[in-house]
Structure 1
Amino acid sequence: MNARSLRVLEFPRILERLAEYCSFALSRERSLALTPSTDEAEVRRRQRETSEARFLLEGRPEISLGATVDLRPHLKKAAIRLPLTPVELLQVGDTLQAAWALRRPLHLARQQVPTLAEIATHLVRADPSALVEAIRRSIGERGEVLDAASPRLAAVRRELGEAQGQLLARLQRMIASPEVGAFLQEPLITQRGGRYVLPLKAEFKGRIPAVVHDQSTSGATLFVEPLAVLELNNRWRELQLEEEREVQRVLQELTAQVGERHEEIAAILEALARLDLALAKAKYSRALSGVEPIGVPFRPASRGELAHPGGTLRLRGARHPLLPPERTVPIDLYLSEEIFILIITGPNTGGKTVTLKTAGLLAAMAQSGLHIPAEEGSALSIFEGIYADIGEEQSIEQNLSTFSSHLTQIVDLLGRAGKRCLVLLDELGAGTDPLEGSALARAILEHLRQRGITTLVATHYTELKAYAQITPGVENASLEFDVETLSPTYQLTIGLPGRSNALSIASRLGLDAAIVQRAGELLTPQDRQAETYLEEIQKARQQALQARRQAESALAQARAIQREAEERLRELERSRAEILNESRRSAREELMRVRAELRQLMQEPRREVRSRAEIEASLAQLESALAPLRPSAEGAVELSVGDPVWVRGLERGGELLALLDDRKAEVQVGGYRVVLDRDDLEPAPATPRAPVEGISFHSASASRPPDELHVRGERAE
């Protein structure tokens, strides 16, 4: 990818903003070194990483690299057996622990984020808890080596404490004694050169047998070590040195363990950098309200006069990523299957250069694995090169004019660009005689068209507008200008050439009307007619856009009303269902009560048979209770043969065998085939109901015994 073109497009500024979202030194380096890839599989992998990381951040915003540190300097020290400091060892332990902790959530979400989960497999191949535990057992949170680091260190420190206590106690007694205390500048114990000393007044030098270690700035005080504590001081100092040796041994041992896992830790750092870069890309995507662009492979190049390269450039609602969102006007930029060269015209400061940079930047971002600030559905091919000649990079050292500088760059890109490249040219042919510049610009465009190179050009030349109108594969585009406010709207219109609006602007700015009129008369009839046509077309387009917006607004209102009506209908249906369910529940309770009464009556076999009127009254009461449970004809559910059904009354499930005449149905209930009213059937519930005990058939034994006893043929005995 052409480095100068990326610099002209300000792609390095994109990388600087991306680096701000990195939390790991190695990933920051990777982000600043990121370049667009021309390999389709690599671009898709990069985009998957960003999209999966964006998905992960939305669902698990707490996921981060935690306390990870760039351990490359630590590994270099360990490789040459240079002991790591306690703080450095803590950083190793914290980084390994954070990597191990990050591995689990990514593994659990591997179905949703397979690309990131695959990277996570390289985080820690073996459980680092042994090394982490050894470090944390030996090093405290403040970076001190703990007594638990080794038994010898604990023993030395105990002896050191005892020796220090004896030394200080002896010095305190000396201070308290009249023989020594009277000669001291003040009654305190201090240190000089790593040894405990007393502040002796200089005039009493020699009064106390001692070794002088230092004196005050004024010379009035000597810091002396009494000979009486010399051996105690020596012992205390020896134990200090022994402690230091043991601490260094512990650090060396832990460093050796780190060195043994050098390659594994290096692989962990690489995986952490990749994951952090993916998370940084996701955070940047969220900040830009970015989307993953659709990657469209190049189609086979067409044959014949029109050598279309087969690329795709379709940007919907695209925004320049470096401009403040509140000041950015989204543009729709697209090339159809017949068009691969776009000539953009319009007034100065109208947004032509920004449009070119937006297209180039978004293509570079997409091929770098970054989401683009555009709407869903935006699509880009993977270009083998992006070449841009935008702005003035005039070289004083090379004594090049503006025209020469531009032409030098164009010569270079024409020699490099191929069919599957994207070329962006700003003010092609500018900086020289307009007639020659226009002719040169057209010749360059014809050359690019013949080679089938996707090209976007910004220009003021009227001749290029005409060329676009009559040339297959080439299309006009314009950036609109509001003559009333004398300001550009930055709205890109494809299919129409732009207007310079010079005379209108001059008139609005107060130039004498006669001068403006005379300037209009000096235009050729063809130019005046073309301007009139363009003005009429733009007005018609504005009216069409306004009508479209009104239609879209009316459609949105109609859909909102429809949604509201549908919601109210659903609410009514829910209320109706609740009322029906409540009625059926009440009816079932009444039915259960009547059944309980009948069951109680049938369990009294000796009771006199009730009168016919009483039985009929009970049956009528039962029918009355059953009636609310039977659905109306209009609310009945259609049943089909083979459906599982629930038999009301029997309160048992079954299978529908046949639909008979007269609203009857044959049903398999348990081991029996029975014929029932269809109204007694309903679809079986998803959760089987417990069968309700009904009236048993064997209860018929409660009928009245016969009035006669037959004894014929029987014997008396």
Structure 2
Amino acid sequence: MNERILRVLEYTKIKEQLLEHVSSSLGKEKIHDLKPWTNFEDVNHQQNSTDEGAQILRLKGHVPLGGIRDIRASLKRSEIGGILSPEELVDISTTIHGGRRFRRFIEGTLEDEIELPILADLIEQIDPLQEVERKIKDCIDDQGHVMDTASPALRTIRQQLRSFESRIREKLESIIRSSKSQKMLSDAIVTIRNDRYVIPVKQEYRSAFGGMVHDQSASGATLFIEPQAVVTINNQLKETKSKEYQEIQRILKMLTETVAEVSGFLSHNVTVLAEIDFIFAKARYSHAIKAVKPKINDNEYMNLKRARHPLISADEVVPINVELGGEYNALVITGPNTGGKTVTLKTIGLLSLMAQSGMQIPAEEESEVTVFESIYADIGDEQSIEQNLSTFSSHMTNIVDILDRVNFKSLVLFDELGAGTDPTEGAALAISILDYVNERGSKIVATTHYSELKAYAYNRKGVMNASVEFDVETLRPTYRLLIGVPGRSNAFEISKRIGLNEKIITDAKSHISEDNNKIDVMIASLEDAQKRAERERAEATDIHQEAEDLKRDLEQKLKEFEQHKEKLYEKAEQEAKKSVEHARQEADEILKELRGYQKEYGNVKEHKLIEAQKRLDEAAPKRNKALKTPTTNKKAPDNLKPGEEVKVLTVNQKGHIVEKVGSNEYQVQIGIMKMTVKANELEPIKSEKKRETKPFVKVEGSSVTKPELDLRGERYENALRAVDKFLDDSLLAGYPQVSIIHGKGTGALRTGVQSLLKEHPNVKTTRLGNAGEGGSGVTIVGLK
């Protein structure tokens, strides 16, 4: 890649833009020296490193690269025995700190499980050197001032300096405050000349203070005199300052020797930090131009999708699609001037150079580039007045040089190939040049005005026509690149639009051969077909995108529905559990009562109580995750009979049929819980022997010996309490129906009993007895 090619393709301008994104002079140096790599592994490594930097900027928004300095000259001086200045030592300290801070930053990013193999390897090479940094910071502050704490001797010396300065100022201030001295002074101030404290004295009072004259004003009217009273102290101050300088030099020498001992590590740190700054400069530039990482191949194949020239503003640039190395190796672009042919050439060449320099390219995802060993370009007017060469000669000199160097790993860009000479000869020469380069396997993009080259692509294998679109209606180019369609001059259409006489245009057409007219008609047809195909493709893309959006929307709604359904199931399950828990608590109270009866009567068996508790626990509904909705399409069982054992599919529990409550529904007993279930949600259990429904607890020898209660002769309140207890005992005994004898009498007792029965939770039905059952003196109660 010679410098002329880089300049012609405006690669140097890209480097200037890249320089705006560096953090240190180290990165600037890397960019100044930057040239495209020509080795596939190198290019791939550089692209991967830029991509890692771009990932971090997307995730973190910034990188801490402040404080890094180019300290290589200082390191060299330390190695040869020089003494580094405080400022140089501060730069070394901040560079050590900056490297260690960046290392911590990347290590923290890696903890987020982000793959950064290149940066991880670089930070491993950064030596922390904390001890060197600490020694420098203990002696020198951030402003480059050697601190009193750098050594005990320096602290003592500076205390002496402050003492001498204070004594001198006190003596001089007493002189200038004296009323006797004030008339002799030009100004009542204490100042410094030749590093000694002096006062400004009028020329005529020179001998009044004695001492030494160190300076005088421009007019000679004022002398700066060191009075005899402070000469001795000033001498002591100067001697102490000399000691201070010697102690500072000793400290700086000690620190320089410390730096020299680790100069090799520091030098390597600088090299690594320069590479890191370079990586993030490329990443920031990528973000600025909205670039993407291209696919890199070593197969001489290029496929740029909606590629944009990075030096043209985003409001004006027109993206292009270019493919080379697949079906064709050469692209011949025709079209009018100012239509964008040269910009297309430069975009292809410049994006190749950027990709091979490790920079991401302004194009769409999935764009692909190859690694060229060399890129050649003949673009623009290279006429040389000094060499007395014409435009054609200048172009041919450049082309001859290109032809001597090209191979199958080359990209060759020709702008207006064969221009500047006789059109017939120029076209023939252009065809021969294209054939020569094509035979060597190079990838070619050439622009031309010659109509002969439009037919060239149809007669050569591996060559494709292209053109830049021109809008005849607006008389302006659209800058769109049309692959597979040769360009037209559009001279007649343009002339007609701007008002040229129709007769002249018709006469001009008669001078064009019939073959050329047919070619123009064919090209126009191709342009229309391509535009129509692109419109239809755009419409298809929009429809596809709408379908994708609709699909995502439906998937999201289905997901939300499933989540809502899951919540409803969980809520139902929780409510069922609460119901069972409530029933269990009531049953526990009953069991406690029974155990009380057991102690009192001794007739309730313990194993019966345990069995009842176990069955109660098993009655809790267990949700079947796999069965979230009832199987409604299953054939409903027919003729289920009371007492028959069934499986309730909706809750995956066994139970017994109590009775049929509708044309298609049954009441099912599940443990202590009764529920109404549709027939198609039940499954008969045929494999097990049917058993009669038994009560949970059988009370043997209890006070309930028969299913009837005689209240005749009882007081009203006692009678009602007896009814309540009788119902509970009858329920535990398993009686489906009981009789309560209250007599006819005044009817008050009957009314009170029936009122209680209506409110009792375990009463299902009530009726007065029939003629054979005692008539209105008996109430028959159906229990749940």
TM-score w.r.t. length of structure 1: 0.83
Classify 1:45/1:592 alpha carbon distance in 2 versus 1 (closer, same or farther; 3 Å): same
Which position in structure 2 is the counterpart of 1:247?
248
Partner of residue 102, structure 1: 102
Give the aligned residue type for 2:629: G
Indicate the residue corresponding to 2:117 in structure 1: 114
Q: CA deviation at 1:186?
A: 3.8
**Structure 2 CA distance for aligned equivalents of residues 179 and 702 of structure 1:** 130
Q: Is 1:195–2:189 an aligned residue pair?
A: no
| Partner residue in 1 for 2:583 | 594
Cα distance, 1:622–1:353 mapped onto 2, change above 3 Å: same
Match of 1:318 among 303, 307, 320: 307
Q: Could you say if the C-alpha distance between residues 172 and 7 of structure 1 is closer, same or farther in structure 2, counting changes exceeding 3 Å?
A: closer
- CA–CA distance in 2 between the matches of 1:631 and 1:209? 110
How far 1:147 moved relative to its partner?
A: 0.2
Are 1:180 and 1:208, in contact at CA under 8 Å, matched by a contact in 2?
no
1:320 shift after superposition: 1.0
How well do the aligned residues superpose, as a CA RMSD in angstroms?
3.1
2:400 partner letter = V
Q: AA paired with 1:552? A: T
SS of alignment partner, residue 200 of structure 1 = strand
Partner of 2:553: 564
1:627-646 correspondence to structure 2 within 5 Å: 635=629
Q: Match for residue 488 of structure 1?
A: 477
1:323 deviates by 1.0
The alpha carbon displacement at 1:469 in A equals: 0.7
CA distance in 1, matches of 2:107, 2:499: 70
- Deviation of 1:599 after TM superposition, in Å, equals 2.4
Secondary structure of the corresponding residue to residue 273 of structure 2:
helix
Answering whether residue 520 of structure 2 is matched by residue 526 of structure 1, we say: no
Contact 1:350 1:489 in 2 (8 A): yes
Letter in 2 for 1:121: E
Q: How does 1:278-297 map to 2 (within 5 A)?
A: 278-297=279-298
Instruction: Give the distance between the partners of 1:395 and 1:631, measured in 2 at CA.
Output: 86
Determine which of 416, 438, 451 is the counterpart of 1:427.
Answer: 416
Tell me the residue number matched to 1:332. Answer: 321
Q: Secondary structure of the residue that 1:317 maps to in structure 2? A: strand
Which of 331, 345, 358 is 1:342 aligned to? 331
Partner of residue 536 from structure 2, selected from 541, 547, 556: 547
Which runs of structure 2 are paired with 1:126-141 in the superposition (5 Å)?
127-141=128-142
Tell me, what secondary structure is at the counterpart of 2:465?
strand
Is the CA contact 2:64–2:101 (under 8 Å) kept in the aligned structure 1?
Answer: no
Corresponding residue number in structure 2 for 1:77 = 77
Q: Which residue of 2 aligns with 1:233?
A: 234
> What is the CA distance between 1:19 and its match in structure 2?
1.6
User: Does residue 1:446 correspond to 2:435, yes or no?
Assistant: yes
Letter in 2 for 1:16: E
| Separation of aligned partners in 1, 2:185 and 2:624 | 113
Q: Residues 336 and 82 (structure 1 numbering): CA distance in 2 closer, same or farther, change over 3 Å?
A: closer
| Aligned residue number for residue 271 of structure 1 | 272
**Could you tell me which of 500, 503, 508 is aligned with 2:492?**
503
Contact 2:40 2:297 in 1 (8 A): no
* Structure 1 Cα separation of the partners of residues 278 and 460 of structure 2: 45
| Other structure's SS at 1:212 match | strand
Deviation at 1:321, TM superposition (A): 1.4
Pick closer, same or farther for the CA change 1:703–1:99 going to 2, 3 Å. Answer: farther
1:575 CA displacement:
2.8
Q: Distance in 2 between matches of 1:140 and 1:631?
A: 69
- CA distance 1:564–1:48, shift in 2 (3 Å): closer
Q: Relative to structure 1, is the Cα distance of residues 329 and 138 closer, same or farther in structure 2, using a 3 angstrom cutoff?
A: same
CA contact (8 A) 2:26 2:277 kept: no
My pick for the range that moved more, 452-461 or 245-254, is 245-254
Local SS of the residue matching 1:607: helix
- Post-superposition offset of 1:177: 4.5
1:516 aligns with 2:487: no
Matched, 1:150 2:147: no
State the secondary structure of the residue aligned to 1:35: coil
* 2:570 alignment partner in structure 1: 581
| 8 Å contact from structure 1 (residues 50, 369) kept in 2 | yes
Q: Aligned residue for 1:351?
A: 340
Counterpart CA distance in 2 for 1:633 and 1:181 is: 110
Describe the superposition over 1:104-155 as per-residue Cα deviations: whole angstroms up to 9, x where unpaired. Answer: 232454551111111222222xx32211111111112222111001111000
Q: How does 1:2-21 map to 2 (within 5 A)?
A: 2-21=2-21
AA partner of residue 322 (structure 1): L
Secondary structure of 1:205's match?
helix
How much does 1:156 deviate? 0.4
**Most deviating of 187-196 and 547-556:** 547-556
Deviation digits for residues 450-508 of structure 1 (CA, Å, limit 9, x no counterpart): 22221111111111111111211111111111100111111112111111111111221
CA distance in 2, matches of 1:405, 1:516: 37
- The answer to whether residue 451 in structure 2 is matched with residue 462 in structure 1 is yes
Residues 188-236 of structure 1, C-alpha deviations (whole Å, 9 max, x = no match): 3222211122222222232332222222223222222222222111111
Query: Quick one: which of 354, 357, 366 aligns to 1:368?
Result: 357
What's 1:674 paired with?
none
Alignment match, 2:597: 607
The one-letter code sitting in structure 1 at the alignment partner of 2:549 is A
CA distance in 1, matches of 2:281, 2:628: 61
Q: 2:63 matched to which residue of 1? A: 63
Structure 1's 9 and 632: CA in aligned 2 closer, same or farther, altered over 3 A? closer
Q: CA deviation at 1:625?
A: 8.2
Structure 2 CA distance for partners of 1:589 and 1:521, relative to 1, 3 Å: same
The match for 1:398 among 370, 387, 401 is: 387
| Contact 1:583–1:628 (Cα < 8 Å) also in 2 | no
Change (3 A) 1:99 1:634: closer
CA separation of 1:336/1:193 partners in 2, compared to 1, >3 Å: closer, same or farther? closer
Deviation at 1:25, TM superposition (A): 1.0
Unmatched 5+ residue regions in structure 2? 632-650, 655-680, 684-695, 704-784
Given the superposition, is the C-alpha separation of residues 114 and 633 from structure 1 closer, same or farther in structure 2, using an over 3 Å criterion? Answer: closer
Residue 353 and residue 632 in structure 1: after superposition, are their counterparts in 2 closer, same or farther (change >3 A)?
closer
State the 1:373 CA deviation: 0.9
Highest RCO, 1 vs 2 (Cα 8 Å, sep ≥ 6): 1
Measure, in 1, the Cα distance between the counterparts of 2:390 and 2:624. Answer: 96
1:633/1:181 Cα in 2 relative to 1: closer, same or farther (>3 Å)?
A: closer
Provide the rounded CA distance (Å) in 2 between the counterparts of 1:251 and 1:187: 40
How many Å separate the matches in 2 of 1:160 and 1:461?
89
What is the letter of the counterpart of residue 487 of structure 1? R
**Whole-angstrom distance in 2 between the partners of 1:353 and 1:524:** 30
Asked whether the equivalents of residues 606 and 702 of structure 1 are also in contact (C-alpha less than 8 Å), the reply is no
| Alpha-carbon distance in structure 2 between the residues aligned to 1:289 and 1:40 | 24
CA change 1:628–1:193 in 2 (3 A) is closer
After superposition, the Cα gap between the structure-2 partners of 1:129 and 1:563, relative to the gap in structure 1 and judged at 3 Å, is closer
Change (3 A) 1:379 1:562: closer
User: Residues 45, 170 of structure 1: CA spacing in aligned structure 2 closer, same or farther, 3 A cutoff?
Assistant: same
Contact 2:201 2:222 (C-alpha < 8 Å) held by counterparts: yes
Deviation (angstroms), 1:74 = 2.0
| 4+ aligned runs moved over 4 Å, structure 1 | 108-111, 176-182, 608-611, 621-634, 647-650, 699-706
Q: State how many pairs are aligned.
A: 634
Q: Which amino acid aligns with 2:123?
A: A
Which residue type is aligned with residue 507 of structure 1?
Answer: K
Structure 1 residue runs without a partner (length 5+): 299-310, 638-646, 651-676, 680-698, 707-717
CA distance in 2, matches of 1:482, 1:603: 98
Q: What is the deviation of 1:4?
A: 2.1
Measure the CA separation in 1 of the matches of 2:510 and 2:162: 106
Residues 503-539 of structure 1 deviation map (CA, whole Å, 9 limit, x = unaligned): 1112212222222221111100000111112112212
State the alpha-carbon separation in 2 of the partners of residues 450 and 631 from structure 1. Answer: 70
Aligned residue in 2 for 1:660: none
Q: CA 1:465–1:136 in 2, change beyond 3 Å: closer, same or farther?
A: same
Do the aligned residues in 2 keep the contact of 1:109 with 1:117 (CA within 8 Å)? Answer: no
Distance 2:346 2:294 in 1: 17
Once the 2 structures are TM-superposed, how far is the Cα of residue 250 of structure 1 from its aligned partner?
1.6
